[in-house]
Amino acid sequence: MMNNMLRIISRKSFIASGEPEAMRITIGGLPGRASVLVETLDQTRGNAVSAWVAMGKPEPPTREQAAQLRHVAEAVRREILHADASGHFNLERPIEPWSLVLI
């Protein structure tokens, strides 16, 4: 039991570690003013693992729990951004540790 507790504490502190980093992405060759979908999954949005843990880690989850987890997983941050008139898309922002950005 104590060994499991140490593992849990270590994992939590590991996940909590890290600093935001500057993210700079440039994509060229797009049609002028093209729409670009940017989705961000982070600790508070789209994080089905945290929701599953909050449920008590059901193994397997019930149908209702699975539906709730799908709903949480789909709740990522979605933004429609645009390329400039020459077809260049630039994205600059800080990204938090353990986040994922899909463009």
Q: Do residues 95 and 23 touch, judged by C-beta distance below 8 A?
A: yes
DSSP for 33-92? T-EEEEEEE-SSSS-HHHHHHHTT--SSPPHHHHHHHHHHHT--EEEEEE--TTS-EEEE
Does pLDDT of 55 surpass 60? Answer: yes
Domain spans in the chain, listed from the N-terminal domain onward: 32-103
Q: pLDDT digit string (tens) for 7-52? A: 555 555 555 667 889 999 999 999 999 999 999 999 889 999 999 9
CB 78 within 8 A of CB 19: no
Average pLDDT score over the chain: 88
Asked if 46 and 75 touch (Cβ cutoff 8 Å), the reply is yes
Give domain 32-103's CATH superfamily. Glycosyl hydrolase domain; family 39 (2.60.40.1500)
pLDDT at res. 43: 86
Which pLDDT belongs to residue 16? Answer: 63
DSSP character for 30? P
